[in-house]
């Protein structure tokens, strides 16, 4: 257990002193910034926002109720809020080249639900990627409300192949077309939550047109890569694009929807009043900050470095003996099949061992995983967060070595302590919030962060 006291000298934000009479919470916030600063953040859906995003998220805009949309609110006093939301909408449309943006969804899941609600009747058929091949829960998982309201049919990836030139495990567009022709979906969903390759919207568009379906592209994961020009932009090809603002886009936790003017009213009505009440305008303001940051030249450089780092990490992991699903990556994300490395090692065990060594990532199903989702045979890693801290390809090689060492010697506490100590040393050179962390690291090695 990490020990952090209110008097440790750590600040959680420029407003730290405003929390001074709540030492319990101050200690917890200090502990979390300490965890984020002293362990490696390799969860593919996480990032470190800028202090400007933190400031907007913690602003007085949290006080305001503003059901409705700019110029059409149900409560008074929304003159400033209207300008904030318009700023966020304008920045989103400009960033992605879209005609319309809805910036109110509280999350990516809500954004997806809103699109289904806008475009479908209950019982309609939707074709999306299966969860165990990389799709998201809201792409029709049996565990999600989406599959209870609409009828989901699935496509997946091609089988793995031993040919290094054609390793397989990429989206099987023949299957997408076959299932679409057979099932006649009203909506096709492109996009994934655990897929390490670029997804081209054009073949999806052709298949959707051939069967008279709408196309939704969920860019929750690569939104920042799209904004930064490192991933093709599906806006204008897909009818609707959904995204999250907190993954590669590096903004606050939340979602957004992009579409043409033809669907603007239906999408807006589906978000509010269809699914949500009052929007979180402090988060909308933070989204506006993030959209601006993502439009700067430095963000293009960031997006390119995210991909270069993921590829460097992938190569180094392969050299450690890990099998990479699809043979590598061309985005921010890597999926490891642990079985060739160690047939006995599950994703769950690997995640827990690495957590103890200060390396944070998540277990993940791999295509056709024989183990259940809570156990899995895979790990998912991402490069977005540590790239934000300034880590580059030499650090990626070091990280792969630490992961291999920890997992190879997972029963040896002394080795795990050494790995934890190396992680601490590595993180010490790349603090995510140097302007906030004012005290010395307080984690103890092997403390698990
Ligand atoms: N939980 C997110 C992820 O980790 O990809 C998706 O919603």
pLDDT at 29: 86
Q: Which atom belonging to ligand 1 lies closest to the Cα atom of 362?
A: 4
Interstrand relation of 378-382 and 333-337 (parallel, antiparallel or unpaired): antiparallel
**Do 406 and 321 fall into the same domain?**
yes
**Is 91 considered catalytic here?**
no
User: Out of 218, 239, 268, 422, which one is annotated catalytic?
Assistant: 218
Do residues 201 and 217 make contact, with C-beta atoms less than 8 angstroms apart?
Answer: yes
**Do 146 and 274 fall into the same domain?**
yes
Alpha helices in 134-222 (DSSP H): 145-149, 173-183, 201-211
Question: Does 193 sit in the ligand 1 pocket, CB within 6 Å?
Answer: yes
Q: Which of 246, 272, 294 is the last residue of a domain?
A: 294
CA 356-362-368 angle, to 5 degrees, is 135
**Do 262 and 380 fall into the same domain?**
no
Do residues 306 and 384 make contact, with C-beta atoms less than 8 angstroms apart?
Answer: yes
C-alpha–C-alpha distance, residues 104 and 121, integer Å:
22
CA 195-108-47 angle, to 5 degrees, is 70
pLDDT at 2: 35
**Is 181 considered catalytic here?**
no
Q: Which atom belonging to ligand 1 lies closest to the Cα atom of 108?
A: 7
**DSSP letter (8 states) at residue 446:** T
Question: Does 255 sit in the ligand 1 pocket, CB within 6 Å?
Answer: no
Q: Which atom belonging to ligand 1 lies closest to the Cα atom of 194?
A: 5
**Is 360 considered catalytic here?**
no
* Surface-to-core class of residue 199, CB atoms within 10 Å of its CB (0-12 exposed, 13-18 middle, 19+ buried): buried
User: Which DSSP helix (H) or strand (E) runs through 72?
Assistant: strand 72-73
- Residue ranges making up the domain that contains 445: 297-449
Q: Whose CA is nearest to atom 1 of ligand 1?
A: 45
**Do 288 and 157 fall into the same domain?**
yes
Residue with tokens 């679409």: 180
Q: Which residues of the chain have pLDDT under 70?
A: 1-15, 436-449
Question: Does 108 sit in the ligand 1 pocket, CB within 6 Å?
Answer: yes
Alpha helices in 380-443 (DSSP H): 384-388, 393-408, 413-428
**Do 240 and 91 fall into the same domain?**
yes
Which residue among 220, 335, 362 has the greatest number of ligand 1 atoms within 8 angstroms of its CB, and so is best to mutate?
220
Q: Which of 278, 294, 310 is the last residue of a domain?
A: 294
CATH number of residue 360's parent domain = 3.90.1150.10
Question: Does 45 sit in the ligand 1 pocket, CB within 6 Å?
Answer: yes
pTM confidence score? 0.94
**Is 389 considered catalytic here?**
no
Which residue among 136, 192, 221, 244 has the greatest number of ligand 1 atoms within 8 angstroms of its CB, and so is best to mutate?
136
Q: Which of 294, 328, 344 is the last residue of a domain?
A: 294
Alpha carbon of 153 to ligand 1 centroid (Å):
21
The answer to whether residue 250 sits within a structural domain is yes
**Do 235 and 266 fall into the same domain?**
yes
Q: Which atom belonging to ligand 1 lies closest to the Cα atom of 137?
A: 7
**Is 247 considered catalytic here?**
yes
Backbone dihedral region for residue 208 (phi beyond 0: left; psi -120 to 50: alpha; all else: beta): alpha
Do residues 249 and 91 make contact, with C-beta atoms less than 8 angstroms apart?
Answer: no
The answer to whether residue 23 sits within a structural domain is no
The answer to whether residue 410 sits within a structural domain is yes
Residue with tokens 């992961």: 403
* Cα separations in angstroms, 238 against 97, 130, 189, 216: 13, 20, 9, 6
**Do 371 and 276 fall into the same domain?**
no
**Do 365 and 221 fall into the same domain?**
no
pLDDT at 14: 58
Which residue among 105, 146, 193, 381 has the greatest number of ligand 1 atoms within 8 angstroms of its CB, and so is best to mutate?
193
CB proximity list for 99: less than 8 A, separation 6 or greater: 93, 259, 260, 261, 264
> What tokens were used for 311?
């590829």
**Do 259 and 177 fall into the same domain?**
yes
**Do 100 and 238 fall into the same domain?**
yes
Do residues 290 and 284 make contact, with C-beta atoms less than 8 angstroms apart?
Answer: no
The answer to whether residue 211 sits within a structural domain is yes
**Is 65 considered catalytic here?**
yes
Task: Report helix, strand and coil shares of the chain as percent, to nearest 5.
Answer: 45, 15, 40
pLDDT at 86: 98
C-alpha–C-alpha distance, residues 266 and 272, integer Å:
10
Alpha carbon of 256 to ligand 1 centroid (Å):
15
Alpha carbon of 299 to ligand 1 centroid (Å):
22
The answer to whether residue 9 sits within a structural domain is no
The answer to whether residue 18 sits within a structural domain is no
Do residues 419 and 445 make contact, with C-beta atoms less than 8 angstroms apart?
Answer: no
The domain total for the chain is: 2
The answer to whether residue 31 sits within a structural domain is no
**Do 345 and 245 fall into the same domain?**
no
C-alpha–C-alpha distance, residues 44 and 346, integer Å:
19
Alpha carbon of 45 to ligand 1 centroid (Å):
6
Q: Which atom belonging to ligand 1 lies closest to the Cα atom of 109?
A: 7
**Do 313 and 208 fall into the same domain?**
no
Of the candidates 300, 289, 409, which has an alpha carbon nearest to the alpha carbon of residue 356?
Answer: 409
């Amino acid at each position: 257990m990490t020990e952090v006291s209110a008097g440790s000298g750590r600040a959680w934000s420029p407003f730290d002193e405003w929390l001074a009479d709540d030492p319990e919470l101050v200690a917890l916030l200090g502990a979390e910034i300490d965890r984020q600063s002293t362990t490696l953040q390799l969860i593919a859906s996480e990032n470190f926002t800028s202090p400007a995003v933190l400031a907007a998220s913690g602003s007085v805009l949290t006080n305001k109720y503003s059901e409705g949309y700019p110029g059409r609110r149900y409560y008074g006093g929304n003159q400033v809020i209207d300008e904030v939301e318009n700023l966020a909408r304008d920045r989103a449309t400009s960033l992605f080249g879209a005609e319309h943006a809805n910036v109110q969804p509280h999350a990516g899941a809500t954004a997806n639900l809103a699109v289904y609600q806008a475009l479908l009747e209950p019982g309609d058929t939707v074709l999306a990627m299966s969860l165990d091949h990389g799709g998201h829960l809201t792409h029709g998982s049996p565990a999600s409300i989406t599959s209870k309201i609409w009828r989901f049919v699935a496509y997946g990836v091609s089988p793995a192949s031993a040919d290094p030139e054609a390793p397989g495990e990429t989206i099987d567009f023949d299957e997408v077309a076959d299932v679409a022709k057979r099932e006649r979906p009203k909506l096709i969903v492109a996009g994934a939550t655990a897929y390490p390759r670029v997804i081209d919207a054009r073949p999806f568009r052709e298949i959707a047109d051939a069967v008279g379906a709408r196309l939704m592209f969920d860019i929750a994961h690569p939104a920042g890569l799209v904004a930064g020009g490192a991933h093709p932009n599906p806006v204008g090809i897909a009818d609707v694009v959904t995204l999250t603002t907190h993954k590669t886009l590096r903004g606050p936790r939340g979602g957004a929807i992009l579409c043409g003017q033809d669907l603007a009213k239906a999408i807006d009505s589906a978000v509010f009043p269809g699914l949500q009440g009052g929007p979180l305008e402090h988060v909308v303001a933070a989204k506006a900050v993030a959209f601006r940051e993502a439009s700067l030249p430095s963000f293009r450089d960031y997006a390119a470095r995210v991909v270069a780092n993921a590829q460097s990490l992938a190569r180094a992991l392969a050299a450690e003996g890990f099998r990479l699903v699809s043979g590598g990556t061309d985005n921010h994300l890597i999926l490891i099949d642990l079985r060739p490395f160690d047939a006995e090692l599950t994703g769950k065990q690997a995640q827990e061992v690495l957590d103890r060594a200060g390396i944070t990532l998540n277990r993940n199903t791999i295509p056709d995983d024989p183990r259940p989702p809570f156990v899995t045979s895979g790990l998912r890693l991402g490069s977005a967060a540590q790239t934000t801290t300034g880590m580059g390809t030499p650090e990626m090689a070091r990280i792969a070595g630490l992961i291999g060492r920890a997992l190879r010697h997972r029963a040896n506490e002394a080795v795990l302590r050494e790995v934890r100590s190396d992680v601490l040393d590595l993180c010490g050179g790349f603090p995510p919030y140097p302007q906030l962390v004012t005290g010395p690291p307080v984690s103890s090695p092997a403390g698990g962060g």
